[in-house]
Structure 1
Amino acid sequence: MYCVIQEVELKKENTYGEDKELKSTVNDFVISGERKISYSHTYSDERFRRPIKKAYKISIHKSYREGGKVKKKQWVLGTMDYYYIATFDGYIGDFCDLEERAETIGITVDELFDIVSVKLEPLRERIEKEYKETE
C-alpha cells in the first residue's frame, strides 16, 4: 500500500490571499463626563495575489493479485491547494474523515497517517520554503 500525490492545475487563481494591512482605529469619547478610549482593528480591503494555480490530489493505492492478474484499488483522500499547504501545514484530516477512510481501506488511522506523511511531508517542506521566499 502506498500514497500517491498528483499535482493538478487549477483553472482559476485563488482570490482569497492574506490581507495586506491591519488597520488600527482609536475612538476617543466621553461618557458621563469621563473620557474613554477604545481601539478597534480591521483588515484592509487589499489582498496579496495568489497566482500559483496548483492543487495536490492525495490518494492511497493498493496492488494485489487475483486469479494471476494484477489488480489495483485506489481511495482518494482529498485535494489540497498550494496555499493551504503553505499557510496551514497541510493536515490531511481537514480534507477527509481519517477514521472512516482508514476503516474503508482496512488499516488503522495511524497507519494511514504514516503512509500519507511519508509523501506529504517533503512536499509541504518544499512548498513552505518556496512560499517564504516570495514574501
Structure 2
Amino acid sequence: MYCVIQEVELKKENTYGEDKELKSTVNDFVISGERKISYSHTYSDERFRRPIKKAYKISIHKSYREGGKVKKKQWVLGTMDYYYIATFDGYIGDFCDLEERAETIGITVDELFDIVSVKLEPLRERIEKEYKETEEYKTYKKHREILTKYLEDKA
C-alpha cells in the first residue's frame, strides 16, 4: 500500500491572498470631560495575487494479485491547493474523515497518516520554503509582528 500525490492544474487563481497593507486608526474622543485615545487596526482592500494554480490530489493505492492478474484499488483522500499547504500546514484530516477512510481501506488511522506523511511531508516542506520567500509572506509576517508588539505594549 502506498500514497500517490498527483499535481493537478487549477483553472482559476486563488483570490484570497494576504492583505497588502495594515492600516492604523487613531480615535480621539472625550467622555465626561476626560480625553480618551484608542487605536484600531484594519487591513486594506487590496490583496496579493496568488498566481500559482496548482493543487495536489492525494490517494492511497493498493496492488494485489487475483487469479494471476495484477489488480489495483485506489481511494482518494482529497485535493489540497498549493496555498492551503503553504499557509495551513497541509493537514490531510481537513479534507477527509481519516477514521472513515482508514476503515474503508482496512487499516488504522495511524497507518493511514504514516503512509500519507511519507509523501506529503517533503512536498509541504518544499512549498512552505517557496512561499516564505514571497513578498506576500514577508508582508504577512511584518503585519503579525506589528500587531503582536501593539498587543504586548497595550497589556
Q: Distance in 2 between matches of 1:112 and 1:85?
A: 19
| Pairwise CA distance, 1:60 | 0.3
33-42 vs 58-67, which moves further = 33-42
RMSD: 0.9
| Equivalent residue, structure 1, for 2:8 | 8
Q: Deviations over 1:66-87 (max 9, x none)?
A: 1221111110000000011111
Q: Distance in 2 between matches of 1:101 and 1:111?
A: 11
Structure number having the greater helix percentage: 2
27-36 vs 111-120, which moves further = 27-36
Q: Deviations over 1:18-41 (max 9, x none)?
A: 111111111111111111222211
13-22 vs 33-42, which moves further = 33-42
Give the secondary-structure state (helix, strand or coil) at the position aligned to 2:133.
helix
Q: Distance in 2 between matches of 1:72 and 1:93?
A: 24
In the comparison of the two structures, how many residue pairs are matched?
A: 134
| Pairwise CA distance, 1:106 | 0.8
The TM-score, its normalising length taken from structure 1, stands at: 0.96
| Pairwise CA distance, 1:54 | 0.3
1:42 matched to 2:42? yes
Q: Distance in 1 between matches of 2:62 and 2:76?
A: 12
Q: Distance in 1 between matches of 2:104 and 2:127?
A: 30
Q: Distance in 2 between matches of 1:31 and 1:3?
A: 64
Unmatched tracts of structure 2, length 5 or more? 135-155
| Pairwise CA distance, 1:131 | 1.4
The TM-score, its normalising length taken from structure 2, stands at: 0.84
| Pairwise CA distance, 1:133 | 2.2
| Equivalent residue, structure 2, for 1:21 | 21
